[in-house]
Structure 1
Amino acid sequence: MNKFKVFFTFFAFSWLLACGVGAFFPLIGNAAPSEKLAWAGVILNALALPVWIGLRYLYPQKFHGDIRESNAFLGVLIGLAVALLADGQRGLPIYLVITNLFIVLLYLYHFSSVSHPALPGVNQRFPDLEEQTGESCDISDFCRERELDGVFVVFLRGSFCADSRGQLAGFEHLLPELQKRNIGILLFSAQPTSSWGKTFTQLGGSATTELSVRQLDESAKNCSLFVAWQGAPLLMYPWHTAAARPSAWLVDSEGVILWRELTVNYRTPARADLLRAQWFRLVD
């Protein structure tokens, strides 16, 4: 299923980009003004989502999304309305904008969804995680060595994901509050740490020092619970095929799970505000 979702996502964005770029040719041609307006609607309808996702990837500190990607979806609907009103002959523009709307809805509500296997629940012990370096991460040992009251464990989908980059941007502002409350944060992904270099250059100096993304050993039994095989984008396949399933956990100093958030859509991972609302559980 992961491979099918990855293929459809690649096809969807390729189609939307091709459709949007292709619509420029009749727009600059000798078509009637009403037909040109219809093709302008096609351009807006097709390019709204790819451009919005691109902006969120490049500027994770400025642009934030939601389950509906409301800003992009508004552009899709405006483009649809323009094409429907301008194309009185019910020509190709109308069929294209309706097809694009269908593709966008499939991506937003199905092909960006995440399914999780059976995972430890609240009041159970968080499993030890094997890292690619060969080291084992035991939460209780991690807290004891750093004299922490607890730790947030966050799994990031990958550096290729706009929302994972957005999470890091939010964690930058969360760090001082975590340190004040004696809470740590552990970040994991299925990618090498070096893959996150460009993202960290956008963060402040303190964040670069305090935050680091550890690479999971994909072959380890416990780590396979948090990694989706063939879950990375198709363009990443020459280098990497796995992606971590986004989730967030609050674990106390004894390694017991106090809270967990299993993301149902990789575009809506646990952000800094959600983590901030959970640390009262360590006091209780």
Structure 2
Amino acid sequence: MNKFKVFLTTIAFVWLWSCGFWAIFQTVRSGDIAWVGLWINAWSLPIWMLLRFLWPWKFRGEQREPAAFAAVLTGVAVALLSDSEKGQPVYLAIYNLFVVLVYLFHLSALRHPAMPALDAGFPCLVTADGKNWSAAEHARRGNFDGLLLVFLRSSFCADSRGLLMQLSALLPELKRRGVGLVICSAEPPSRWSRWITAVPLLEFLQLAPGESANDAFLAPGGAPLTQSATFSEAARPSQWLLDSEGFVLWRHLPGNYRTPGSAELLRGQLFRLQD
């Protein structure tokens, strides 16, 4: 299912980019304003996602991506109002609206398998070097009063990189409360080096693919087609607050890859360690 979604997502964005170039060509050839509406309609989401990819600390993802969605609807309105014959620009703009909706609410949706419940012990994970990682042992070894586990999808994901950079503002609070921060990913730290340097992480775990202990946290085929040659798996975004014995006090399982959570959400849950 993940590979199917990745493939359809690639097709959707290739279509939107191509439709925008076609609209530019038709605008130059015919001068019809309706094609300008189609251009706005087709390129709104791809340009917005490109901006988020380049500057994730400035542009954060939302469920409906209101900035991009408003521009998509504006393009539909321009095409409808300027094309009295309701020709190709109108039909393509409506089709693009359908493509955008499918991406926002289905292709980027995230379904989690059975996960550790509240008050249950967090399971051991297997790292890329074949070692077992235990939350309770890590807390005991670091003399932590609790652990904050953050699973990041992948370095290609703008929202994962944005969340990683937000965590720098959370570190003083974590240190004051004696909470250890653990970042989990399917990629090695070298793929995150550009952003890790700004966030002195206490622990970074690269999870081993194909290990049954990691199945709930890794999505096979979740990486985009451009990354699949090296890393075909991506972590399912989630955040976990554990006590010093490795029991789950709180968890956040987002329903969409574009909304993995924020540092402020994590900060607001730290009080649970005092209960």
TM-score (ref. length: structure 2)? 0.96
Task: Find the counterpart in structure 2 of residue 20 from structure 1.
Answer: 20
Q: 1:123-134 counterparts in 2 under 5 A?
A: 123-134=119-130
- How far is the alpha carbon of 1:216 from its aligned partner? 0.2
CA distance in 2, matches of 1:142, 1:268: 28
Describe the SS at the equivalent of 1:188: strand
Gaps of 5+ in 1: none
Question: In the alignment, residue 63 of structure 1 is paired with which amino acid?
Answer: F
- How far is the alpha carbon of 1:132 from its aligned partner? 0.2
Match of 1:164 among 160, 163, 168: 160
Describe the SS at the equivalent of 1:63: coil
Describe the SS at the equivalent of 1:122: coil
Moved over 2 A (4+): 197-201, 209-214
Task: Find the counterpart in structure 2 of residue 173 from structure 1.
Answer: 169
Match of 1:116 among 112, 118, 138: 112
Would the aligned equivalents of 1:159 and 1:199 in 2 still touch at CA under 8 Å?
no
Match of 1:228 among 207, 210, 219: 219
Task: State whether structure 2 residue 129 is matched by structure 1 residue 138.
Answer: no
Q: Single out whichever of 273-282 and 170-179 deviates more from structure 2.
A: 170-179
CA distance in 2, matches of 1:24, 1:200: 41
Q: 1:190-229 counterparts in 2 under 5 A?
A: 190-200=186-196, 204=198, 207=199, 209-210=200-201, 213-229=204-220
- How far is the alpha carbon of 1:270 from its aligned partner? 2.0
Identical residues among aligned pairs (%)? 48
Question: In the alignment, residue 21 of structure 1 is paired with which amino acid?
Answer: F
Change (3 A) 1:211 1:109: farther
CA distance in 2, matches of 1:48, 1:2: 25
CA distance in 2, matches of 1:49, 1:169: 24
Task: State whether structure 2 residue 67 is matched by structure 1 residue 76.
Answer: no
- How far is the alpha carbon of 1:118 from its aligned partner? 1.0
Task: Find the counterpart in structure 1 of residue 242 from structure 2.
Answer: 251
TM-score (ref. length: structure 1)? 0.93
**Deviation digits for residues 136-185 of structure 1 (CA, Å, limit 9, x no counterpart):** 22111111222211011111111111111111121121112111221121
**Deviation digits for residues 86-115 of structure 1 (CA, Å, limit 9, x no counterpart):** 111211110111010000000100111111
CA distance in 2, matches of 1:54, 1:75: 15
CA distance in 2, matches of 1:69, 1:101: 13
Task: State whether structure 2 residue 273 is matched by structure 1 residue 271.
Answer: no
- How far is the alpha carbon of 1:211 from its aligned partner? 5.7
Describe the SS at the equivalent of 1:132: coil
- How far is the alpha carbon of 1:6 from its aligned partner? 0.9
Question: In the alignment, residue 211 of structure 2 is paired with which amino acid?
Answer: A
Describe the SS at the equivalent of 1:260: strand
Would the aligned equivalents of 1:193 and 1:212 in 2 still touch at CA under 8 Å?
no
Task: Find the counterpart in structure 1 of residue 34 from structure 2.
Answer: 38
Change (3 A) 1:253 1:265: same
Question: In the alignment, residue 64 of structure 2 is paired with which amino acid?
Answer: R
The RMSD of aligned alpha carbons is 1.3
Would the aligned equivalents of 2:152 and 2:184 in 1 still touch at CA under 8 Å?
yes
Change (3 A) 1:102 1:153: same
CA distance in 2, matches of 1:100, 1:197: 37
